[in-house]
Chain A
Amino acid sequence: MSNLNTGMVEKYRNNFLNEVEANVEEGEWVKMCMQCGVCSGSCPLGPYWDHPPQELFMMIRAGKREEVLESTSMWMCTSCYNCLVRCPRELPITHIMHGLAHYATRLGIEPKGQPTRQFAQLFWDNLAKNGRVNELWLGVNLYFMNGFVNGIKVAMGMAGIGLGMYKSGRLSIKELIGGHTVKDKSGFKAMIKKAQELESARVDK
């Protein structure tokens, strides 16, 4: 268990709702859920969530901290915003799901092998490196995220699609070395670093 996680358990004791309100993006909305279930019924991947949004909201109020934060549920969010526009109480559900996923990651208790968790981290690392996404490396890293042998298998399975993209001019080999980048890379990186420091200071206080 990370120090931050232990610290948060200490700090909030049995009040997980308070912890979510203080530390999760848009978390202050959670208590507004009236348990109607429209969000859960509107989700394109609804059947795959261990706990759909409405259930997560009640679990937060019931103090089920580990069950919520270690869940794979919020990693099923496709960011389609169906739940958000339909919620009668106007909870920003999509953002709360992203917020819970990020907070779990920050605490180091997120489901490590969950594929969307892995891909989401790859995406962030990819864009943070040069300021712009390098699609070729994103694909390569994605295929090989579960080891080399498995990666070869996945890559072979995807070869047809890759070739189609290449032939239609929508995948460039040039991206292998260098590729697209912002010019002011040092300014860009300093900005991200500062934003991360400010945010950490807020969570740690």
Chain B
Amino acid sequence: MSKEYSFYPGCSSQEGASSSNYLKSVQSMCDVLDIKLNVIPDWNCCSASIGYCGGGELPRLALSARNIALSEKHNQGQDIVATCAACWLATKETQERLDDDAGLMDETNQALAEAGLKIENKTKIRHMVEVLIEDIGYEEMGKHVSKPLDGIKIAGYVGCQTNRPFGIEGESFENPKYLDKFIETLGAEPVEKYDKKVSCCGGALAFSEPEKSQALIKDIIEAAYDGGADMIVTPCPVCQMNVEVYQDKINATYGTKFNMPVTYYSTLMSVAYGKNSKQSGLNGQIIKAKKLEEVASK
């Protein structure tokens, strides 16, 4: 029987948006693992970590509260699962804040009432990575591998918001290992001691402070090359975009010759599970993940 979840895809996963290729690979991966994702009807933006200027505490909490309330109404009893780090963080943070403060909870429900909604706040908020580790497990994840990613060396870049402040149960903030375990499970080789695995890519400041952020991104890519990586893999849409798309700019500034593909864990899984290039979202790469393409076309 398939496992069912209430799915919060988030803005960047929408059709024609910056991580639409992430969603594609997640769908392929879930298809193999018999995971059914029921999209939260009419979900809205979580305001990510940059909404704080225009949105104060309560308006921001109301955003995520609306999603939780919609989930509780339409996908009753199902855990909410997000694939985006910022979506997961904002929703989980809202749940915690409302749990801690009855006054905020009351005001949030007053705001929700304007949209005909009410939040119970009893729903578990989870990241897709947690579902894979806790509900599926590494062994089961490995069983479905039909095309092992032999001979590919991969730097597991966890980044910030899938790791802090909540992180994954049983993992440390400073040296989480789960992404490396994913890589091994799929038959590839993780870069040992990848020292930039939890360093910041600049997040939203890649847009507003490009030079400062690109200096951070440069170090993340350089460390991957130093470890002998063929590619970088990440669980976060912002990390993926920031680390992939600015490489030409960084090359022009620093005289580097970076051409490092950056994909999602779900891209790897989809390919290792025998899905083709398109089903795995590989056509969404700006820097082509050639080694994965080769496996996918085998």
Which A residues contact B (CB, under 8 angstroms)? 25, 44-45, 48, 76, 78-82, 84-86, 94, 98-99, 101-102, 105-106, 110, 115-121, 123-125, 127-128, 131-133, 135, 142, 160-161, 164-165, 167-172, 174-175, 180, 182-184, 187-188, 190-196, 198-199
Contacts and interface: CB of A to CB of B under 8 A. Distances in A.
A182 B19 contact: no
B52 A168 contact: no
A191 B42 CA distance: 14
Interface residues of B, number: 67
- Give chain B's interface secondary structure class: loop
8 contacts: A78-B200, A117-B53, A121-B53, A123-B204, A167-B286, A194-B114, A195-B58, A195-B59
B151 interface: no
A121 B208 CA distance: 12
Contacts of B102: none
Given A160-B248, A188-B66, A165 B18 contact: yes
Contacts of B43: 182
Interface in B87-126: 107-108, 110-117
Contacts of B62: 191-192, 194-195
Given A44-B216, A78-B202, A182-B42, 18 more contacts: A78-B160, A80-B200, A81-B161, A81-B165, A86-B173, A101-B53, A102-B55, A115-B208, A120-B208, A123-B54, A123-B204, A124-B47, A124-B54, A133-B11, A135-B18, A172-B16, A191-B115, A194-B110
B42 A184 contact: yes
B227 interface: no
B285 interface: yes
A79 B56 contact: no
A110 B42 CA distance: 34
A159 to B, nearest CB: 11
B74 to A, nearest CB: 13
Contacts of B18: 135, 165, 170-171
Interface of B: 11-12, 14-21, 42-45, 47-59, 61-63, 66, 107-108, 110-117, 160-161, 164-165, 167, 173, 199-200, 202-205, 207-209, 212-213, 216, 245-246, 248-249, 283-286
Contacts of A105: 53-54
A131 B208 CA distance: 22
A128 B60 CA distance: 10
B160 A81 contact: yes
Nearest to A169: B284
Nearest to B93: A95
Nearest to A201: B107
Contacts of B117: 187, 191
A165 B53 contact: no
A124 B209 contact: no
